[in-house]
Amino acid sequence: MEVVILAAGQGKRMRSVLPKVLQLLAGRPLLAHVLASARMLGARRICVVHGHGGEAVRSRLDAPGLVWVEQNPQLGTGHAVLQAVPHLSADARVLVLFGDVPLIGASTLARLRDAAGQDRLALLTVEIDDPTGYGRILRDGAGRVTRIVEEKDATPGECRVHEINTGILVAPAARLRDWLQRIGNDNAQGEYYLTDIVGLAASDGVEIVTVAPDDVSETLGVNSKAQLAALERIFQASVARGLLDAGVTLVDPARLDVRGELVCGRDVRIDVNCVFEGRVELGDGVIVGANCVLRDVRIGSGTRVAPFSHLDGTVTGEACVLGPFARTRPGTVLANGVHIGNFVEIKNSVIDDDSRANHLSYIGDADIGVRVNIGAGTITCNYDGADKYRTEIGDDAFIGSDTQLVAPVRVGRGATLGAGTTLTRDAPPDQLTVSRARQQSHAGWVRPTKKGG
Least distance CB 272 / ligand UD1 (angstroms): 35
Residue with Cβ nearer ligand UD1 (5 or 239): 5
d(CA 117, CA 103): 24
Tell me if residue 433 falls in helix, strand or coil. strand
Q: Does 135 bind ligand UD1 (CB under 6 A)?
A: yes
- Residue 7's binding partner out of ligand UD1, Ca ion, none, with CB under 5 to 8 Å set by partner kind: ligand UD1
Does 23 bind ligand UD1 (CB under 6 A)? Our answer is no
Does the footprint of ligand UD1 cover residue 315 (CB under 6 A)?
A: no
The C-alpha atoms of residue 364 and residue 450 are separated, in whole angstroms, by 46
Cα–Cα distance measured from residue 396 to residue 411, given in angstroms and rounded to the nearest whole number: 10
Q: Is residue 79 close enough to count as binding ligand UD1 by CB under 6 A?
A: yes
Q: Give kind and range of the element (H or E) at residue 113.
A: helix 106-116
Spatial neighbors of 376 by CB under 8 A, at least 6 apart, are 358, 359, 360, 361, 401, 402
Which of 423, 310, 296 has its CA nearest to residue 366? 423
Q: Are strands 373-374 and 356-364 parallel, antiparallel or unpaired?
A: parallel
Q: Which residues contact 15 (CB under 8 A, 6 or more apart)?
A: 225
Nearest alpha carbon to residue 131 among 114, 101, 156: 156
For position 235 contacting ligand UD1 by CB under 6 A, the verdict is: no
221 lines the binding site for ligand UD1 (CB under 6 A): yes
Fill in the amino acid letter for 182: R
Choose, from 33, 87, 162, 359, the residue flagged as catalytic: 359
Residues 92-111 that bind ligand UD1 (CB under 6 A): 98-100
Part of the chain binding ligand UD1 (CB under 6 A), chosen from 114-122, 187-195, 251-259, 359-367: 187-195
Amino acid at 19: P
Whichever of 9 and 323 has its CB closer to ligand UD1, that residue is 9
The residue range among 4-12, 241-249, 391-399, 413-421 that interacts with ligand UD1, by the rule CB under 6 A, is: 4-12
**Considering CB distances under 5 to 8 angstroms, the limit depending on partner class, which of ligand UD1, Ca ion, none binds residue 67?**
none
**Closest distance of CB 223 from Ca ion, Å:** 6
Q: How far is the CB of 81 from Ca ion (least distance, A)?
A: 15
- Least CB distance to ligand UD1 at residue 154 (A): 10
The secondary structure of residue 18, as a DSSP letter, is: S
**Residue 362 touches which of ligand UD1, Ca ion, none (Cβ within 5-8 Å per kind):** none
Nearer to Ca ion, 54 or 221 (CB): 221
Closest CB to ligand UD1 among residues 195, 303: 195
From the CB of 341, what's the least distance to ligand UD1, in Å?
50
The reply to whether omega before 19 is within 30° of 0 (cis) is no
- Please, what is the minimum distance in Å from the beta carbon of residue 104 to ligand UD1? 11
Active site (annotated) includes residue 442: no
User: Given candidates 23, 37, 125, 195, which one binds ligand UD1 under the rule CB under 6 A?
Assistant: 195
> Least distance from C-beta 259 to Ca ion, angstroms?
25
Stretch that binds ligand UD1, among 70-78, 302-310, 380-388, 434-442 (CB under 6 A): 70-78
**Cβ-proximal residue to ligand UD1, closest one:** 135
Task: Name the minimum Å distance from CB 9 to Ca ion.
Answer: 8
Give the separation between CA 305 and CA 58, rounded to whole angstroms.
39
Determine the Cα–Cα distance for residues 79 and 183; give it in Å rounded to an integer: 9
Directed axis angle between helix 173-182 and helix 77-84, to 10°? 130
| Among 7, 138, 176, 258, interactor with ligand UD1 by CB under 6 A | 7
Question: Using CB under 6 A, which of 19, 29, 53, 167 touches ligand UD1?
Answer: 167
Residue ranges binding Ca ion (CB under 5 A) = 221
Bridge-based pairing state of the strands 121-127 and 163-172: antiparallel
Q: Which long-range contacts (CB under 8 A, 24 or more apart) does 233-236 make?
A: 234/103, 235/25, 235/26, 235/103, 236/26
By CB under 6 A, which span of 163-171, 270-278, 332-340, 378-386 interacts with ligand UD1? 163-171
| Pairwise CA distance, residues 298 & 312, whole Å | 10
What is the distance between the alpha carbons of residues 222 and 103, in angstroms, rounded to a whole number? 10
Give the C-alpha separation, 398 to 183, whole Å.
Answer: 81
* Footprint on this chain of ligand UD1 (rule: CB under 6 A): 6-9, 49, 71, 74-77, 79-80, 98-100, 134-135, 148, 150, 164-167, 193-195, 221
Active-site residue numbers? 359
